[in-house]
Amino acid sequence: MTGYPQPPFPEQQQKIPGRTNEMSPVPDHGEKTYVGSGRLEGKKAIITGGDSGIGRAVAIAYAREGADILIAYLDEHDDAEETRRLVEEAGRRAVLVAGDIQSSSHCRQIVEKARTELGGIDILVNNAAHQNTFTEIEDISDDEWEMTFAVNIHAMFYLTKAAVPHMKAGAAIINTASVNSDSPNPTLLAYATTKGAIQNFTAGLAQLLAEKGIRANAVAPGPIWTPLIPSTMPAEKVAEFGKQVPMKRPGQPAELATTYVMLADPLSSYVSGATIAVTGGKPII
């Protein structure tokens, strides 16, 4: 796909966690372009952070591939309702669950809701994340550090632990890591540290669950144009976002969807413990 927007973008700033329709340009989630072929027919998926950004693109793709979706999100009800509309437009079920995944009990409620309302769990996409930008370590409060770990890695453990007993052989867990797992941005110190932990968690999990027939993989996005960017970065950085990679632009959420589909596809039955880079040409070595 060519013709996606390139920086400079308009300088813009939002409050965390950000809203899709307030972005300029508005991200592409594959609304008009993704065409399914039944690769996930009848599957049941949980997607955290499924209201917007990468999560919305994955929800659209999974629905058009035949899956029913539980969309877990914080409080972005307008974005979540739009994702629900897109999933239902594809003829699939969409269940919305709002709340804070820092809470282990809420993570267990998400899994229970999927089990009872969707009828099972075949795919768990641990995608929700928190980040913030700091130029000095002294500016990172203890609460900020702890929150970043709670959202990005602790919740991943809570959700996975709760989901695995309900997953059968052939199920898939897909964790959103980052190019920061291998090439940490110093101004995203807390976020980058958690993303390294996610990659390690995924590698260990794949080995732990192999005998159960459950696969675990990670996706490592580079700079992707989502509400997280204008809500967590200075406006001048947003204007140049993505310029640093070889393709000279940020990726659109739609450009990651096929990776998440491939990793969930039962035909990828020997792919486990992998990290797939989607970075606009920036190598992960």
Residue 226 belongs to a domain with what CATH number? Answer: 3.40.50.720
> What's the pLDDT score for residue 3?
86
Structure tokens at 14: 């939002």
User: CA-to-CA distance for 217 and 165, rounded, in angstroms?
Assistant: 18
| β-pair partners for 224 | 251
Identify whether 5 is part of a domain.
no
| CA–CA dist 115, 123 (Å, integer) | 12
Residue 29 inside a domain? The answer is: no
224 belongs to a structural domain = yes
Q: How far apart are CA 25 and CA 156, in angstroms?
A: 31
282 in a domain, yes or no? Answer: no
Tell me the pLDDT tens digit for each residue of 258-280: 999 999 999 999 999 999 999 99
Cα 240 to Cα 11, 81, 194, 225, 243, distances in angstroms? 9, 30, 25, 11, 6
Q: Answer whether residue 248 is part of any domain.
A: yes
Q: Tokens in use for 66?
A: 């035949």
The structure's pTM equals 0.96
Residues forming beta bridges with residue 124, ordered by sequence position: 46, 173
Question: What pLDDT, on a 0 to 100 scale, did the predictor assign at position 46?
Answer: 98
- Tell me the backbone φ, ψ of residue 86, rounded to 5 degrees: -70, -40
Catalytic residue among 34, 158, 191, 260: 191
Asked, for residue 66, whether it belongs to a domain, the answer is: yes
First to last CA, the chain: 25
pLDDT for the residue numbered 2: 63
Q: What is the pLDDT along the chain (285 residues), one digit of tens a residue?
A: 568 999 999 999 999 889 999 999 999 999 999 999 999 999 999 999 999 999 999 999 999 999 999 999 999 999 999 999 999 999 999 999 999 999 999 999 999 999 999 999 999 999 999 999 999 999 999 999 999 999 999 999 999 999 999 999 999 999 999 999 999 999 999 999 999 999 999 999 999 999 999 999 999 999 999 999 999 899 999 999 999 999 999 999 999 999 999 999 999 999 999 999 999 999 887
| Chain centroid, CA 34 distance in Å | 17
Active site residue 191: yes
The domain containing residue 155 runs over which residues? 43-276
Q: How far apart are CA 64 and CA 88, in angstroms?
A: 10
pLDDT given for residue 283 in this prediction:
87
DSSP secondary structure string, 148-192?
Answer: HHIIIIIHHHHHHHHHGGGPPTT-EEEEE--GGGTS--GGGHHHH
3-class DSSP assignment, residue 172: strand
Number of Cβ atoms within 10 Å of the Cβ of 138: 7
- The domain total for the chain is 1
Q: Does an H or E element contain 18, and which?
A: none
User: Cα-flanking dihedrals φ and ψ of residue 113, to 5°?
Assistant: -65, -40
